[in-house]
Amino acid sequence: CDKFCTFCIVPFTRGRERSRDLNGILLEVEKAVDKGFSEITLLGQNVNSYKNKNNKFHNLLEEVSKINGLKRIRYTSPHPKDMSEKVINIMNKYDNICNSVHLPLQAGSNKILKRMNRTYTKEEFISLAQKIQNRIPNVGISTDIIVGFPGETNSDFEQTLEVMDVIKFDFAFNFKYSARRGTKAIEYDDQVNEEDKKSRLTKVINLQKKHTLHKNEKLIGSYQEVLIEKESKLSSSNWAGRTDSNKWVIFDKGKSEIGELVNVKINEAVGVTLKGQINYNA
Ligand code: SF4
């Protein structure tokens, strides 16, 4: 990674950005499809900074989506700064690119974003997330949030909650800031005390739970295409799979098998999970 966020050790442990040859990636995906894989995830840090010869990330995404027989493509994790209009257009154009974007916010205060070296403002992030929500029907947007970054006051933290309220993420990975040796942020002398970090994390988790449930409840009664990925942890008679928008759904196994795409009617939203039943008439 070339971004050097001040809390992150990745650029020091993993080194600078490198982009693989586009044809090599296509060949690998083609081989996976031949072996029967239905879904491919393009993985990179940051995946949308991809550039190889004249190819950028939107070119890679488009070429992968044209591969015959590939049913689903995901990618993670993009950096908001590098999320281009062209990527959004390609997502819109190809049905086999999943309607799901992981867009790490990290913090809602411009002061903290600057200190984190995130290279975007709260306003830029909101406008990007809203553009994605408006342009990609039924998109699911997830995020990462760090609370208690050095120098974060209550009013800085409140701005994180405000952004969450505006965007209403489908899901969020929430963390307390934890100092990493070798990073710039460990040297900041205004570290936030543990108690404040804990109480802010609880607030963020509770707000996100509310948003996730609200978003999931809207899907009750709808029919979703679900890729069966594994047996449910809770019951050996149920499968667990994900919707296009990256939501987990639990349903009775019936005669279906792992790897199949099935049409599922959503009956219930429980926490971050949906429950449903296979629609055999689809
Ligand atoms: Fe790079 Fe992500 Fe780490 Fe920032 S948080 S330095 S973008 S890997």
Average pLDDT per run of 10 along the chain, which is 282 residues long? 96 94 98 96 95 97 97 97 97 97 98 98 98 96 98 98 98 97 96 98 98 97 97 96 98 95 97 95 83
**10 Cβ closer than 6 Å to some ligand 1 atom:** yes
Is 118 touching ligand 1 by the criterion CB < 6 Å? no
196 neighbors 151 (Cβ within 8 angstroms):
no
Query: 77 CB less than 6 Å from ligand 1?
Result: no
- Closest ligand 1 atom to residue 118 Cα is 4
DSSP H helices in 66-193? 85-93, 110-116, 122-135, 154-167
pLDDT of residue 281: 86
Q: How large is the greatest C-alpha to C-alpha distance in the chain, in angstroms?
A: 62
pLDDT of the residue at 163 = 98
Spacing, Cα 17 to ligand 1 middle (Å): 11
CA of 3 to the centre of ligand 1 (A): 6
**pTM, entire model:** 0.96
Provide the phi-psi class of 87: left if phi over 0, else alpha when psi is between -120 and 50, else beta. Answer: alpha
3-state secondary structure of 279: coil
151 lines ligand 1 (CB under 6 A): no
C-alpha 107/C-alpha 204 separation (Å) is 11
The DSSP symbol for 45 reads: T
Q: What is the pLDDT of residue 171?
A: 98
Tokens coding 100: 């799901």
- pLDDT for 282 equals 80
In this structure, how many other beta carbons lie within 10 angstroms of the beta carbon of residue 36? 8
Is residue 46 within 6 Å of ligand 1 at its C-beta? yes
Tell whether ligand 1 has an atom less than 6 A from the beta carbon of residue 5: yes
Question: Which pLDDT belongs to residue 84?
Answer: 96
**What Cα–Cα distance (Å) separates residue 254 from each residue in 238, 244, 258, 276?**
8, 21, 12, 12
Q: What is the DSSP letter of 16?
A: S
Does the beta carbon of 32 lie inside 6 Å of ligand 1?
no
- Dihedral sign from CA coordinates of 175, 178, 184, 187: positive
- Secondary structure (3-state) at 270: strand
**CA-proximal residue: ligand 1, atom 4 (nearest):** 5
Residue 224, beta-bridge partner list: 264
In terms of Cα–Cα distance, which of 129, 151, 155, 141 is closest to 6? Answer: 151
Among protein residues, the one whose CA lies closest to atom 7 of ligand 1: 3
Q: ∠ CA(130), CA(131), CA(132), 5° rounding?
A: 90
Burial of 232-246, coded b for 16+ CB within 10 Å and e otherwise, reads beeeeeebbbbbbbb
Pocket test for ligand 1, best of 17, 45, 47 (most atoms within 8 A of CB): 45
Backbone phi, psi, residue 9, to 5°: -95, -10
Helix (H, G, I), strand (E, B) or coil at 54: coil
